[in-house]
C-alpha cells in the first residue's frame, strides 16, 4: 500500500510517498480502508519533532481519517467489516492516517453516518471534536452565552462557530474582513477584524457588553484584549499560541475582579476522549446542523502541498487529502 511518510523531522518537504506492507490489526485494533484524511497543524508539530510520533521514525503522517472497516482484530465487538467510520488524534499513539490502509485502536473510532460523505467525515473529525470539547466541555457553553471564536474561518474555528450557534449562543468571530461573509454564513452574528488596534473595545461592543466564553487559538495576540472585554465569570479556553503570552499585573487584576477563568486544553492530553465526542457530533453531521467546509482537496501524491496550504493565510475551512 502507499503512505505519506517521513524519515527525518522537518517541514512538509520531508514527506515522500512510499510503498509499505499493508498492516494487520492486532487485539483491540481495526484495519480501515482509508477514503479521506484531514491534515492538521498538530501533524506539522509531530513532523517537526516537537511531539514524538507513535513508534518513532520513519513515520506516517496524519491524524484524521474517514473510511470503511476492512478487518478487525481479536476482541473487537463494536465494529465489523463494511462499517463506515471516522477518527481523529491518530499519529500520537498509533500510525498516522495518510495511507491507503491504517490500523486504528477500536477505542479511537466512531461510526460515520451513511448520509455523511467520507470527505466530510475527514474534514469534521478533529475540527468538530476540538470545537465541541473546547466550547461545551472546557468552556461550559450555555444557551444565551456570548461566545468569541478566534480564527473563525479556519479549521477548528469554522467548526466552533457552528457548535456555538447550535448551542444557542450569540457568536462573534475573529477573522479577516475578506472572510467575514464566510464566517457569517457559518452562523456568526458578528465578525471582528482581529488586527484592530482597539480590539478590546470592538469585542465589548460586538458582544453587547462582554464575552462569556472564548475559544482562543492565538493567545499571544488576543488574550489581553479578551480579558479586558470579558464579562464576570467568563471562561477563555486556550488552544494555541504562536509566541510568548504576557499578562501584566493590571491585566491580571482585571481578570481577578471579573472572576475569570483561563483554561488550557491539548489534543495530546485527551487522545482517549475523542471517539465519544465524535459519537456525539455524528448526529449533527447527519442532519446537516454541522457542515464542515473544505478549503481545498489534494491527492495522496500531493500530501506535502496539502500541508503547505494549511500554513497559508486566507484558509476557509479544512484541507483534505483524497485517498481511496
Are 97 and 37 in contact by the 8 Å Cβ rule? The answer is yes
- pLDDT surpasses 90 at 243: no
Domains in the chain and their CATH numbers? Answer: 2-112+293-322 (3.90.180.10), 126-264 (3.90.180.10)
DSSP code, position 134: I
Length, in residues, of the chain: 324
Q: Give the position of cell 506492507.
A: 21
Residue 28, all three cell numbers: 483491540
Average per-residue pLDDT for the chain: 93
Q: How far, in Å, CA of 247 to CA of 224, rounded?
A: 7
Reported confidence tier of residue 313, pLDDT bands at 50, 70, 90: confident
Tens digit of each residue's pLDDT (9 = 90 or more) over 85-135? 999 999 888 899 999 999 999 999 999 999 999 999 999 999 999 999 999
Question: What pLDDT does residue 6 have?
Answer: 97
Tens digit of each residue's pLDDT (9 = 90 or more) over 21-37? 999 999 999 999 999 99
Alpha helices of the chain — where are they, by DSSP H?
Answer: 41-48, 118-132, 155-166, 180-186, 199-206, 219-228, 249-257, 274-286, 303-310
155-166 and 118-132 helices cross at what angle (nearest 10)? 70
**Percentage of residues in the chain with pLDDT exceeding 70?**
99
Q: How far, in Å, CA of 94 to CA of 60, rounded?
A: 10
- Contacts of 223 by beta carbon, 8 Å cutoff, 6+ apart: 216, 236, 238, 245, 247, 262
- Contacts of 181 by beta carbon, 8 Å cutoff, 6+ apart: none
* Lowest mean pLDDT segment, chosen from 58-72, 128-142, 178-192, 202-216: 202-216
Peptide bond into 58 cis (omega under 30): yes
- Contacts of 104 by beta carbon, 8 Å cutoff, 6+ apart: 29, 30, 31, 32, 65, 85, 87, 90, 94
Tens digit of each residue's pLDDT (9 = 90 or more) over 207-242? 888 999 999 988 777 888 999 899 999 999 998 777
b/e 17-38 (16+ beta carbons within 10 angstroms → b): beeeeebebeeebbbbbbbbbb
Q: How far, in Å, CA of 164 to CA of 136, rounded?
A: 9
Amino acid at each position: 500500500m502507499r503512505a505519506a511518510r517521513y524519515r527525518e523531522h522537518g517541514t512538509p518537504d520531508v514527506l515522500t510517498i512510499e510503498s509499505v506492507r499493508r498492516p494487520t490489526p492486532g487485539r483491540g485494533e481495526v484495519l480501515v480502508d482509508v477514503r479521506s484524511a484531514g491534515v492538521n497543524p498538530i501533524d506539522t508539530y509531530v513532523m517537526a519533532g516537537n511531539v514524538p510520533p507513535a513508534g518513532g521514525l520513519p513515520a506516517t503522517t496524519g491524524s484524521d481519517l474517514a473510511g470503511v472497516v476492512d478487518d478487525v482484530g481479536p476482541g473487537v465487538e463494536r465494529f465489523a467489516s463494511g462499517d463506515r467510520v471516522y477518527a481523529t488524534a491518530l499519529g500520537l499513539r498509533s500510525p498516522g492516517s495518510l495511507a491507503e490502509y491504517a490500523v486504528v485502536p477500536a477505542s479511537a473510532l466512531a461510526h460515520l453516518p451513511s448520509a455523511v460523505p467520507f470527505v466530510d467525515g475527514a474534514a469534521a473529525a478533529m475540527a468538530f471534536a476540538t470545537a465541541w470539547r473546547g466550547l461545551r466541555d472546557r468552556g461550559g457553553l450555555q444557551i444565551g452565552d456570548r461566545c468569541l471564536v478566534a480564527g473563525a474561518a479556519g479549521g477548528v474555528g469554522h467548526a466552533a462557530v457552528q457548535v456555538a450557534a447550535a448551542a444557542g449562543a450569540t457568536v462573534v468571530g475573529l477573522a479577516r474582513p475578506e472572510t467575514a461573509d464566510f464566517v457569517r454564513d457559518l452562523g456568526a452574528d458578528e465578525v471582528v477584524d482581529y488586527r484592530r488596534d482597539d480590539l478590546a473595545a470592538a469585542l465589548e461592543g460586538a458582544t453587547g457588553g462582554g464575552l462569556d466564553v472564548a475559544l482562543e487559538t492565538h493567545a499571544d495576540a488576543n488574550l489581553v484584549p479578551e480579558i479586558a472585554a470579558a464579562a464576570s465569570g467568563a471562561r477563555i479556553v486556550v488552544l494555541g499560541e504562536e509566541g510568548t503570552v504576557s499578562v501584566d499585573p493590571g491585566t491580571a487584576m482585571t481578570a481577578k475582579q471579573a472572576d475569570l477563568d483561563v483554561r488550557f486544553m491539548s489534543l495530546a492530553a485527551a487522545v482517549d476522549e475523542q471517539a465519544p465526542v465524535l459519537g456525539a457530533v455524528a448526529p449533527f453531521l447527519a442532519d446537516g446542523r454541522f457542515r464542515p467546509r473544505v478549503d481545498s482537496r489534494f491527492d495522496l501524491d500531493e500530501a506535502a502541498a496539502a500541508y503547505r496550504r494549511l500554513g497559508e493565510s486566507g484558509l476557509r475551512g479544512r484541507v483534505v487529502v483524497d485517498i481511496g
